[in-house]
Amino acid sequence: MSSGRRGGGGSRIGGALAAAIAKSRNTAPAAAPVFSPLRALGRRQLSQVDLIGQSLSTIAPATGMIFIAAWIVSAEPGFGGLAAIIGTTAVVVAVAYCITQFTRRLAAAGSLYSFAFHGLSRRATLTVGAALLLGYLGISISVLANAAISLLGIGTALGIDLPGTGPLLATAVLVAVTVAVIAVRGVRFATRAILVVETCSLVLIGVLMVTGPDIDGTLSAPAISGTLPFLAMLVVLSMAGFESAAFFGAEARRPLTTVSRAVLVTPLVCGAVFVFAGWAAMSGNAGAVVAAYFDGTASGASLGMVIAVKIGVTCSWLASTLGCAQAGSRLLLAMGIEGTMPKSLSRVHPRLRTPYVAVAWFTVASLLGTCAYLQVFVTDSNTFDGFVEVAIVTAYTLLAVSCLRFLCRIGEDAPSTTVLAAGVAAVGAGLLGYLVFDGVVHARWAIPAAVLIVGVSGIVWARVLKHLRPESLETMGTFDSVETADLLPGSGELVLDDAGRPRMVPVRPGAGLGA
């Protein structure tokens, strides 16, 4: 009896499908087809591996291993250090889970900025956009400067000494131009190249941390605070950009699945790598790698080991520079499409399918910032890093609030998701409060100023847009939407509403071929 009912249901479904197909054959093509606003990027071309490679490259985990191990060696926090790394990783994974509540439902080029619009006000969304832009630009400036320094460091180890800022600036220009060319060349080529480079760097640094010899002597690493909150912020900064796969939702195959996996997997992998680096430092194995990177052969390390470490870290810096350029350019592209930034940023190369104008502007901004960084922050980057940390934490905190409101609005909020998102928002707000308090107590006013600047950025931006391009405030939140070609003819018709967003309506009478 039950088998018969299933068979009857299957017949009805098959009959409905056959009727829909027959109807599609007798339906004329849409007179005015509707296209996704992100169609020019080339939809459905990136695989799961490409997306994970993009996120890993932006983080540059090999460099994070070096600096976390240096902190462990210098501060000697014991198992408290490993606990801080694990705890911070858990918070970042919770942030990733909040992000996946959007990536499972939307595919966008603006990542957190595009997602925030669906749960926050326009001013708060612009604050997320400003924080994200400042964060990625800051990361790009830092990694580009360090790539140039590291490249010259290889030359110095080989006996080719080029002192002064001139060679540094020239090397930075060379790296920036190379990165821009690769980013414009094509997204698949870039993501696969940086995945290979970053994987090799990770393997090399990991092996050296296990097999490195014991080296006696004092480590001359940069000044490192001994507090565990500092280590937590270092881990957050080292993981910043883990969500960069979300910038490629429009270009990914099965984006609602593959982007979500990449966003969740990346912080787990990096957290495991950082815990390994902490363990290696505590056991004494990582000391040789850290000393070789910061002190060269003066540490007692062999020339071969110094060269190997510097090549591995340099490759990681280069991969991160490229990852930032790819992510930052898509953020600018999304803003250009909406009109919240100049429209010229929305231009996409017709053959290569890359946002070449946005890549150029992001690379130029990074290069100019790098020139300033090499003049001002090269010896002590704590203030600069603190500003970037504030921007990143602000974006993650507001995204968690947006997640709460978004799920509640669509009626899909669950107790577990609510608790997790509320916890992330509370931790983020608490961390920002701690940074402000610490800055005031120790008269380090740069961090409180950074919190103020990032906090009011959305208000100022919204006011400027209201006077210059008020229509852009109505077109925010651009994401990859269904196109006319994605629909079975006769099943419905796509039209654009007043805000320019597609919506489906019944097929108009008389739309058939025989009409």
Q: Are 290 and 281 in contact (CB under 8 A)?
A: yes
Nearest-angstrom CA–CA distance, 69 and 451: 29
pLDDT in tens, 310-344: 998 999 999 999 999 999 999 999 999 999 999 99
Nearest-angstrom CA–CA distance, 30 and 492: 10
pLDDT at residue 32 in the model = 63
Nearest to 458 by CA among 402, 377, 381: 402
Residue 12: pLDDT band with limits 50, 70, 90: low
17 SS3 class: helix
The residue with tokens 């090397």 is 171
Angle between helix 303-338 and helix 287-295 axes, rounded to 10 deg:
80
> Does position 288 have pLDDT exceeding 90, yes or no?
no
Nearest to 176 by CA among 63, 55, 325: 325
The backbone torsions φ and ψ at residue 308, rounded to the nearest 5 degrees and listed phi first, read -65, -45
- Note the Cα 21 to chain centre separation in Å: 42
Q: Centre a 10 Å sphere on the Cβ of residue 194 and count the other Cβ atoms it contains.
A: 28
The backbone torsions φ and ψ at residue 505, rounded to the nearest 5 degrees and listed phi first, read -130, 160
pLDDT at residue 371 in the model = 94
pLDDT at residue 515 in the model = 41
- Note the Cα 410 to chain centre separation in Å: 26
pLDDT at residue 42 in the model = 79
pLDDT at residue 513 in the model = 44
Nearest to 109 by CA among 239, 242, 251, 241: 251
What percentage of the chain carries pLDDT values higher than 90? 51
pLDDT in tens, 85-112: 999 999 999 999 999 999 999 888 999 9
pLDDT in tens, 432-482: 998 899 888 888 888 999 999 999 999 999 999 999 999 898 888 887 766
> How far from 271 is each of 72, 264, 268, 306, 452, CA to CA, in Å?
15, 11, 5, 26, 30
Residue 156: pLDDT band with limits 50, 70, 90: confident
Nearest to 38 by CA among 480, 496, 497: 480
pLDDT in tens, 189-228: 888 888 888 888 888 898 888 887 666 555 555 545 557 7
